[in-house]
Amino acid sequence: MSKFDEIMKRSGYSRATVSRVINRSPHVSDEARRIITEIMNELDYIPNRNAVSLSTGQTKQIGIVTAMIDELSLTFINQFMDTAMDYGFQTIVYMSRSDKQIELQAFEDLRSKRVDGLLIVTCVNDPGELKTYLQYGPMVSWQRMGNDEIPSIAMDQAQGYRLALEHLVSKGYTRIANVFGRSNSLNTKSRREAYETFMTSQGLPVWREAYQYSVFTSSDGETALRRMANGGELPQAVLCSNDYAAIGIMSEARRHNIHVPDQLAIVGFDDIELSRVLELTTIHNPIAEQAKQAFYHLWRVLGNEEHKATSLAYRLIERATT
């Protein structure tokens, strides 16, 4: 008698129920799960995961591809994992540390059906090449992809940036410095264009000399402020790549006896918990909602019902720094 049959016999449950417990389906009573799991342990039964996969056609695993994890992507990944788990999926994180070969492992695992689908948080391989893997399973990206064949739930950051610019100009700040992240990213490009277009439309000067790049962390923010303070004319306001950079700028401004917001207004981006605690004006970024949408996309392509798409938007959160 196979161990599987032995479990059926000893537990008195049907093949379907035993199979559901082995497959970790949520549609089993706690009682059945407890009894069957106990017998599995007694028999030292190790389900062959691949055999299980063949019977259901799915591994119930989703791969998460990312070059690295920082605080912001952590928020996104945590919410994605939570949602996936609510739907019975486990997740595997493939962190490539920007190594193209290691990143490709995730895509190869999609091809060999080790995972049912992929979430791309950030990737370093050319999207044009990665999209060939779409034939093996669904993918969805948080990163903007620059081609529309790999679906992306990225939002256009220009929209949020414009909210910040409108807010600053309406409060009378017109000499605005920009502190960006990666100089060649689509997001930076989009933000820079939003700034230049908006200023021009208002008949205000575009201040390209004040652009700073690669400002990611609070330490980077401190350095950015020192550059502004040493650079002659201080801006009236600074628009930041994210809240961490803004917190660094705010703290360093205090040490330079620059009064915020009278001498320098600061606007962050993302609206992390600390931005409320530290009273930073910022742009609310609906990160958790984007993570849910990313999962719903994979869920639908895997053959399940469609979730009603909710339209997401950035919001200005005015606090003490403007």
Q: Which of 15, 97, 259, 307 binds a second copy (CB under 8 A)?
A: 97
Mark 113-152 with x for binding to a second copy (rule: CB under 8 A) and - for no binding: -x--------------------------------------
Task: With beta carbons less than 8 A apart as the criterion, state whether 312 and 290 touch.
Answer: yes
Q: Which is nearer to a second copy, 97 or 208 (CB)?
A: 97
Task: With beta carbons less than 8 A apart as the criterion, state whether 180 and 192 touch.
Answer: yes
Q: Which is nearer to a second copy, 84 or 150 (CB)?
A: 84
From residue 236, give the alpha-carbon distance in Å to each of 171, 247, 266: 11, 17, 9
Q: How far is the CB of 190 from a second copy (least distance, A)?
A: 27
- Rounded Cα distance, 313 and 97, in Å: 31
Nearest to 155 by CA among 180, 191, 179: 191
The residue with tokens 């933000």 is: 191
Report the run of H or E that residue 158 belongs to, with start and end: helix 157-170
318 binds a second copy (CB under 8 A): no
Q: Which is nearer to a second copy, 163 or 222 (CB)?
A: 222
6 binds a second copy (CB under 8 A): no
- Rounded Cα distance, 268 and 284, in Å: 9
Task: Say which amino acid occupies 112.
Answer: S
273 binds a second copy (CB under 8 A): yes
For 189-318, where are the E strands, in sequence order? 237-239, 265-267, 282-284, 315-317
Reading the block at residue 74, the tokens are 């952590």
Q: Which of 159, 219, 263, 310 binds a second copy (CB under 8 A)?
A: 219
For residue 225, report the phi and psi dihedrals to the nearest 5 degrees.
-65, -40
Residues 91/76/192/212 CA torsion (nearest 10 deg): -100
277 binds a second copy (CB under 8 A): yes
Count CB neighbours of 48 within 10 A.
9
Q: Which is nearer to a second copy, 116 or 163 (CB)?
A: 116
Report the run of H or E that residue 269 belongs to, with start and end: none
102 binds a second copy (CB under 8 A): yes
Mark 54-93 with x for binding to a second copy (rule: CB under 8 A) and - for no binding: --------------xx-x--x--xx--xx--x----xxxx
Q: Which stretch binds a second copy (CB under 8 A): 138-146, 150-158, 162-170, 212-220?
A: 212-220
Mark 225-254 with x for binding to a second copy (rule: CB under 8 A) and - for no binding: -------------------x--xx--xx--
179 binds a second copy (CB under 8 A): no
Q: Which is nearer to a second copy, 10 or 24 (CB)?
A: 24
- Rounded Cα distance, 44 and 40, in Å: 6
1 binds a second copy (CB under 8 A): no
Count CB neighbours of 227 within 10 A.
14
Contact set with a second copy (CB under 8 A): 24, 37, 46, 49, 68-69, 71, 74, 77-78, 81-82, 85, 90-95, 97, 99, 101-102, 105, 108, 111-112, 114, 217-219, 221-222, 244, 247-248, 251-252, 273-274, 276-279
